[in-house]
Amino acid sequence: MKAYMQRYHLAVVSAFLLLLILAKGCEKDELLTNSTAKLSFSQDTVMFDTVFTGIGSATKRFKVYNNHDAALKISSIRMAKGSSSNFHMNVDGVAANSIRNYEIKAKDSIFVFVEVFVDPSNDDLIEKDSIIFSLNGGEQDVKMRAFGQNVHLLRNALLPTQTWTNDKPYLIYTSSMVDTLETLTVEAGTKIYFHQGASLFVKGSLKVNGSPANPIVFSGDRLENFYSDKPGQWGAYTILSNGATYVFGGLHFMPGSFENVINYAEIKNANKGIQLDSAIGNQPALRISNTKISNMNTAGIYAQTSTINGNNLVINNCGSHAIALTLGGSYRFNHVTIANYTPYNSRNSASVAINNYYLSGGGAYVYELEEATFTNSIIYGDGGDQGNEIVIDDAGDGGFNYLFDHCLIRVNEDFEPDQERFKNIIWSPQQGPRFMSRTNYDFRLDTLSPAINAGSREYGNLNPTDFDGESRMNDEAPDLGAFERVP
């Protein structure tokens, strides 16, 4: 009986405590109604860098804090321009430009998300608005600022022969293509932006005619400073039947593409910079000069069974290869600087890869490598394939002709070069090429670089001026790479 009574009292006490807890939970937080009580914000102005007209921006967010010991009831959160605003907000999952009677508990916070749409009928402009918070008879606000820019907008465009000028940028929002036997000419100073997942495919011909003062820029459409050197922002891809992802070039030259020219351009921040697929002919499928290719998720230049002539190139920060020459072809590179450092990922592949076959069904399909020549060049990086920045992958059948002459190359101590294929090489200098500033992406040579005057005058005469327009022929010998050191 005594044990029964103890259990009974325990049950009564437990029930009473539970009722107290439930009652406490049902109580509303005390509201702070003093007119001096204010909200705090993570920022007082939300800035959108360049937003292309007609295209919604990326979403920005900020936090709203109640730092008080009691709840605050916000009578309204609203966009100052109301329903006519080009800004759109979402408050903790509620999407509307006007929200009433929103409560923030004591010592709590909420997120506010904002995006903007800039009127495509306007040219360059600043779009302004404010989000107004009304509480306890007063108002606070967070300002919105978006810098808009009008563009030529392309979605799935099939391009006939035409010329792009620098009157305003071009935005390739979904992949577009230069049609068979047609030519796209791009004039100096033109900026071409790509949305995520977009590429420019070329079945015909692409003529990129930049100048030293006005290079042509190919980049992603995120223009905030944070994205200035981040790889993987644009370029088409597809998911194969086996679940693998196939990545296309940002500039992708397809079979039959002919006589392409890229001169004075900057190609940056894509998945893969340039790809050529079986692009051959009487003339090189691609002549590329005075061009920077930077910050790629995979390769800078990827070619298979194609032809390229390249000079005065700077290729840096590619997640796999700076240059991959596969399935044979014919390639000449002169005065190239490969500075393949990968600050945003690790890399297990060599900066330069040369190959003449692929395996399928237990057999090897071999293609002739007519020529792969690198002269007066620097091939360096932060390690690659076990410290080698070159990999030679020969099936041992068919033509396989390659040459590295007057180059500075990083390899490890186990690398065994063919002395007939590697001539006048500076192997893995302890101090490296001594670039002016890796971190600032300045790959000119400093005064102590071993690459100074290490080139061949014969190869220098093929391209007597460097990337900056300086003469290579004014001293005892050309410097290696794209830049001549000028005192």
* pLDDT tens digits, one per residue of 392-414: 999 877 789 999 999 999 998 88
Give mean pLDDT, residues 284-309.
97
- Confirm whether 83 is domain-assigned: yes
- Same domain as 221, residue 142: no
- Note the pLDDT of residue 5: 45
- Confirm whether 441 is domain-assigned: yes
- Note the pLDDT of residue 282: 74
Share of the chain above pLDDT 90, in %: 75
Q: How confident is the model at residue 130 (pLDDT cuts 50, 70, 90)?
A: very high
Number of domain units in the chain: 2
User: Is the predicted pLDDT of residue 19 greater than 70, yes or no?
Assistant: no
- Note the pLDDT of residue 31: 85
- Same domain as 123, residue 135: yes
Give mean pLDDT, residues 427-448.
94
- Same domain as 159, residue 103: no
User: Is the predicted pLDDT of residue 37 greater than 80, yes or no?
Assistant: yes
Q: Choose the final residue of a domain: 91, 120, 148.
A: 148
Give mean pLDDT, residues 90-95.
91
- Same domain as 189, residue 164: yes
**Side-chain half-sphere CA neighbours of 275 within 13 A:** 22
Give mean pLDDT, residues 432-447.
95
Q: What pTM was estimated for this model as a whole?
A: 0.83
Q: How confident is the model at residue 1 (pLDDT cuts 50, 70, 90)?
A: very low
Q: In angstroms, how far apart are the furthest CA atoms of the chain?
A: 112
| pLDDT mean across residues, the chain | 91
- Same domain as 213, residue 97: no
Give mean pLDDT, residues 131-160.
93
Give mean pLDDT, residues 312-339.
97
- Note the pLDDT of residue 7: 47
> How far lies 193's CA from each of 52, 173, 295, 449, in Å?
10, 8, 15, 36
- Confirm whether 479 is domain-assigned: no
- Confirm whether 1 is domain-assigned: no
Token pair, residue 430, equals 């302890």
- Same domain as 87, residue 55: yes
Q: Tell which phi-psi region holds residue 453, choosing left (phi > 0), alpha (psi between -120 and 50) or beta.
A: left
51 contact partners, CB below 8 Å, separation of at least 6: 57, 116, 118, 127, 146, 147, 148, 149
Lowest average pLDDT, out of 181-190, 204-213, 410-419, 472-481, goes to 410-419
- Same domain as 287, residue 351: yes
- Same domain as 172, residue 98: no
- Same domain as 400, residue 254: yes
- Same domain as 193, residue 141: no
- Same domain as 202, residue 66: no
d(CA 384, CA 34): 64
Q: How confident is the model at residue 246 (pLDDT cuts 50, 70, 90)?
A: very high
The residue among 149 and 77 whose pLDDT is bigger is: 77
User: Is the predicted pLDDT of residue 6 greater than 60, yes or no?
Assistant: no
Q: Choose the final residue of a domain: 97, 120, 148.
A: 148
Give mean pLDDT, residues 89-116.
94
Domain that holds residue 198: 150-462
User: Is the predicted pLDDT of residue 12 greater than 70, yes or no?
Assistant: no
Q: How confident is the model at residue 29 (pLDDT cuts 50, 70, 90)?
A: low
CATH of the domain at 54: 2.60.40.2310
- Note the pLDDT of residue 345: 77
Q: How confident is the model at residue 122 (pLDDT cuts 50, 70, 90)?
A: low
